[in-house]
Every structure is written in structure tokens, then in C-alpha cells.
Amino acid sequence: MKALVYVTLKPDVLDPQGKAIVRASAQLGYDAVKAVRQGKLFELELDAADEAAARRLLDEFSDKLLANPVIEDYRVVTIEP
Amino acid sequence: MKALVYVTLKPDVLDPQGKAIVRASAQLGYDAVKAVRQGKLFELELDAADEAAARRLLDEFSDKLLANPVIEDYRVVTIEP
């Protein structure tokens, strides 16, 4: 199965990388870009009997390995056969 | 407007970070995870008159600032008012 997982900083965690992109974009003339937050995207291939099993695996795996639950949220976006 | 942009390594570019995650997951007992590729996710807020203008801006901005077009692809996933 294929799955897509987002890992993003929690809303109250500062994102200096996003702020740097906004500053750089203003210097390049892109004043229309008001805010940027950067996250991570994971494309996974996994063995699972069905979607429910895949979701259980992904929840555990994302919490343990992909995200740092102190400062990050994860979201399983798609699961495809 | 709010927009979501994916930036991923081109398919023929190696992803050592993804490979490291697969190795670590095997050591932690997650043998079901067969492959991982890591990309970037950008959540943007921008000023644009309409969706077409937002898409033009995002295409230019992603190509110039968010992605390195030599090794990365970008994709504008959603544009919301």
C-alpha cells in the first residue's frame, strides 16, 4: 500500500525557516506572500492487510519515528492499495 | 488565500534520509514499512485577486524559491479563499 503523511509544527511553535522564506520573498518582490510554514511530507510504501491495519501502523510509526510529538503534529492524508 | 505546495525529490534522485528511516524502522521492528521518501510541505498565505492569479504566483514562487528545479519537483495541491 502507499500512504502519504504530513508532519507539521504545532501552531504555537515558531517556524524560523518559514519566516526566512517570507523575508526572502519580499526581497525578491513577492510581497503577495504573507506567511509560510514549512512541514514535512512522507511518501511511504508498506505491507498491510487492509486500510484499517495500515492506519494503525501509520499512526504508531508516525508518532514514534516520523514526528516529534512534543512540537509536531502528524496527519495520515491518503492510504491507497 | 491559503495554499499548499508539495516539494519532492525527482524520482531518479536518491533520498538518503528516506533510506535511513526505512533502516531505523526495520531496527524498531516495523518490517512492514518498505520504502519512504521525504519531501517538503509548504503552507502559504498570499494575496491574490483570484485562483488563477494565485496559481500563477505560486508556480513562479515555487520554481524560484521553494524548490530546486534541478533535483526537485513541486506541486500546488490546494488553493483556498
Nearest to B44 among A36, A43, A61 (CB): A36
Chain A residues in contact with B20 (beta carbon < 8 A): none
What does the pLDDT look like over A5-22, one tens digit per residue?
999 999 999 999 999 999
How many angstroms separate the CA atoms of A1 and B56, rounded? 34
Do residue B36 and residue A44 have CB atoms under 8 angstroms apart?
Answer: yes
CA distance A46 to chain B (A): 4
The tens-digit pLDDT sequence of chain A (81 residues) is: 999 999 999 999 999 999 999 999 999 999 999 999 999 999 999 999 999 999 999 999 999 999 999 999 999 999 999
Strand, coil or helix: B79? strand
How many Å lie between the alpha carbon of B68 and the closest alpha carbon of chain A?
14
Whole-angstrom distance, CA of residue A5 vs CA of residue A29: 33
Nearest to B52 by CA among B23, B81, B13: B81
ipTM, two decimals: 0.89
Phi-psi group of B62: left, alpha or beta (phi > 0 → left; psi -120 to 50 → alpha; rest → beta) = alpha
User: Residue A24 burial by CB count (10 A; 0-12/13-18/19+): exposed, middle or buried?
Assistant: middle
Q: What pTM value is reported for the model? A: 0.91
pLDDT for B46-62, tens place per residue?
Answer: 999 999 999 999 999 99
Taken in order of first residue, the domains within chain B and their CATH numbers are 2-80 (3.30.1280.10)
Q: Which residues of B touch A30 (CB under 8 A)?
A: 57, 61, 65
**Cβ distance B77 to B42 under 8 Å?**
no
